[in-house]
Structure 1
């Protein structure tokens, strides 16, 4: 098998070293080059031909945002993962990078010795395998599809980037994904008119939603609620960026928001979102109950409320993402009689959440990303 080749771009030598140790702690990933700024990265791309770029935003000479602009001008398609501390205070910059073609983003740990460094390492390796692996396979490389399961690092594995850092980075064990087996669910009642559309989506979601929402029909009258796994502080900017390209209104959900016809609400980072049907108007509620399936917001929490309030009158959609969030309650939606869709394996960045739902029999139809908007439009306008 071939390796996924990584280019790390960061002006901090300590961070370049730390990120190298994070990604190379897992077999199948190799750091082929490092750069101190965007200009150096552009110069190194032709000779090193990386499969994925890990990019800081705040750098001298050429910032990460300026690099993304030059990348677009040069028609470079290598996937980019934003890893930056500026994202904490620069959500708009991060969203602009996504609009320019960045695949995803991740916040740096608050300091080199912080407790969340293991979580960052987990997510970064996941993203490198997801985006870099997909790009490498398109180049003809032999990169296996892996399933991820986090385990505690055993002694003797890679140390942290500096001698002062005593924390051990988590290790990911990989197993080649078995063939999915679906046991179709028999609904307890006939599907009724679609009164609400709900999405659950994670890794690969920002660009997938941009593609789908740009092609939604302006005639859709059902309210739409979306759970996209995203850190707190970013979903307002994300919703605003989607609103610029979608024929329907898109906004970050707020407590008590009315589920209006043809309006899309994005669950805020750090909050679960649930729906409630009332006599005069249906609304959404936000809460900070414990994470579910490791996430807040959680697609399962949203879907569970939709099962309770709408039963056979919803359209549930699960798309690209690691893990199983949304799968169990999408199954309950289908059992209640609602219609369900899942993104297909070939077009997913990570066929995790859709796969888990498919294997539970929760997905009536698997749809490629480039047909998702068309399928949603057809169902929403027909039913």
Structure 2
């Protein structure tokens, strides 16, 4: 396979130097150029267009968001944002993701060289994932099907108890827009949701805040001991695992430190396995767009525990990696396009209540 052609656009000489040297060591990546700002980058890109851009957001002459909008309008190109780990940086990064960026890497204000070396594997994975991304699938265009056509198989009433229904969702590349498409269509009475979106530490709080402003349901970054409730979505904090626990008829989450699982922290597998144990047939598991296999085995455990399970289809995924692996394992009962997943969530709840 040909190496992935990468261009680095960042006004920091240290970032350009360290990232160039680090990526040059990887046999599957070729750094074809660096630029101090988007205007210099555009000039170089006319001579050789990259497969992936690693882009800063705060730069002189033209900021990263303006450049990203221009790219997505004129010549869509996969972009990985390299943004500062600050509140302002997180907000800007979310805007970049909404405009079409497919990945994000955080960078601190101090200790930059060591940090970039420590996150080398994460950056390489982000670039590889971006190179496989289908940018035309970032925004769903198809009309959704009627609710009656989306009913999922429902466990026999004797298998259930009085505990409320809940939904567990796992996603990665392309997931920020996919989650927005789903959560903004859910009514306040929808089942409680637990979400793992692969995202660096400090960015998940801003992501949850943004969704909370857009949605009719409540969206929060999960805190240890938080209760799972109807009309509430809890997003796992970046850099920490989230698990479901049960106390009587109530569900709560545990937020824990720990090593990466399936190469991620938070891990979809960790969430799904805990849901299989604590909720069983009272849960619906959904695996969506993303690279790799995180969540596939956990979704299989959910299905074996009696939960309903579904996967996003290839046609609507930005990267058909995680759903593909789950389907191969036999973990997903049904496969739906993104535009039908909100209705499928409500259909599973209605079917459960009417059984």
The two structures have a TM-score, normalised by structure 2, of 0.80
Q: Flag structure 1 segments of 5+ consecutive residues without an equivalent.
A: 139-186
Task: Give, in whole Å, the separation in 1 of the partners of 2:322 and 2:306.
Answer: 21
Task: Please say if residues 300 and 330 of structure 1, whose CA atoms lie closer than 8 Å, have aligned partners that are also in contact.
Answer: yes
Q: Which moved more, 1:363-372 or 1:262-271?
A: 363-372
Specify which of 308, 312, 332 is matched with residue 343 of structure 1: 312
Q: Flag structure 2 segments of 5+ consecutive residues without an equivalent.
A: 138-154
Give the direction of change, closer, same or farther, for the CA distance of 1:113–1:104 in structure 2 (3 Å limit): closer
The two structures have a TM-score, normalised by structure 1, of 0.74
Task: Please say if residues 80 and 104 of structure 1, whose CA atoms lie closer than 8 Å, have aligned partners that are also in contact.
Answer: yes
Task: Give, in whole Å, the separation in 2 of the partners of 1:10 and 1:212.
Answer: 33
Q: Which residue of 1 aligns with 2:19?
A: 19
Q: CA RMSD in A?
A: 3.2
Task: Please say if residues 18 and 113 of structure 2, whose CA atoms lie closer than 8 Å, have aligned partners that are also in contact.
Answer: no
Task: Give, in whole Å, the separation in 2 of the partners of 1:358 and 1:366.
Answer: 8
Task: Please say if residues 296 and 331 of structure 2, whose CA atoms lie closer than 8 Å, have aligned partners that are also in contact.
Answer: yes
Task: Please say if residues 131 and 349 of structure 1, whose CA atoms lie closer than 8 Å, have aligned partners that are also in contact.
Answer: no
Q: Deviation per CA, 1:253-273: give whole Å up to 9, x if none.
A: 122222221211101123222
Q: Which residue of 1 aligns with 2:93?
A: 94
Task: Give, in whole Å, the separation in 1 of the partners of 2:262 and 2:101.
Answer: 26
Task: Please say if residues 274 and 301 of structure 1, whose CA atoms lie closer than 8 Å, have aligned partners that are also in contact.
Answer: yes
Task: Give, in whole Å, the separation in 2 of the partners of 1:357 and 1:222.
Answer: 23
The residue correspondences of 1:352-371 to structure 2 (distance < 5 A) are 352-371=321-340
Q: Which residue of 2 aligns with 1:104?
A: 103
Note the C-alpha offset of 1:116. 5.9
Give the direction of change, closer, same or farther, for the CA distance of 1:298–1:133 in structure 2 (3 Å limit): closer
Q: 1:300 aligns to what SS in structure 2?
A: helix
Give the direction of change, closer, same or farther, for the CA distance of 1:369–1:28 in structure 2 (3 Å limit): farther
Task: Give, in whole Å, the separation in 2 of the partners of 1:273 and 1:128.
Answer: 26
Q: Deviation per CA, 1:128-168: give whole Å up to 9, x if none.
A: 22222335999xxxxxxxxxxxxxxxxxxxxxxxxxxxxxx
Note the C-alpha offset of 1:88. 7.7
Note the C-alpha offset of 1:228. 1.5
Give the direction of change, closer, same or farther, for the CA distance of 1:26–1:370 in structure 2 (3 Å limit): farther
Task: Please say if residues 190 and 312 of structure 1, whose CA atoms lie closer than 8 Å, have aligned partners that are also in contact.
Answer: no
Task: Please say if residues 102 and 133 of structure 2, whose CA atoms lie closer than 8 Å, have aligned partners that are also in contact.
Answer: no
- By percentage of residues, which structure has more helix? 2
Q: Which moved more, 1:310-319 or 1:61-70?
A: 61-70
The residue correspondences of 1:235-274 to structure 2 (distance < 5 A) are 235-274=204-243
Specify which of 312, 325, 348 is matched with residue 379 of structure 1: 348
Q: Which residue of 1 aligns with 2:148?
A: none
The residue correspondences of 1:192-231 to structure 2 (distance < 5 A) are 195-214=165-184, 216-218=185-187, 220-231=189-200
Q: 2:324 aligns to what SS in structure 1?
A: helix
Q: 1:199 aligns to what SS in structure 2?
A: strand
Note the C-alpha offset of 1:115. 6.8
Note the C-alpha offset of 1:75. 4.6
Q: 2:210 aligns to what SS in structure 1?
A: helix
Q: Which moved more, 1:226-235 or 1:341-350?
A: 341-350
Note the C-alpha offset of 1:349. 3.8
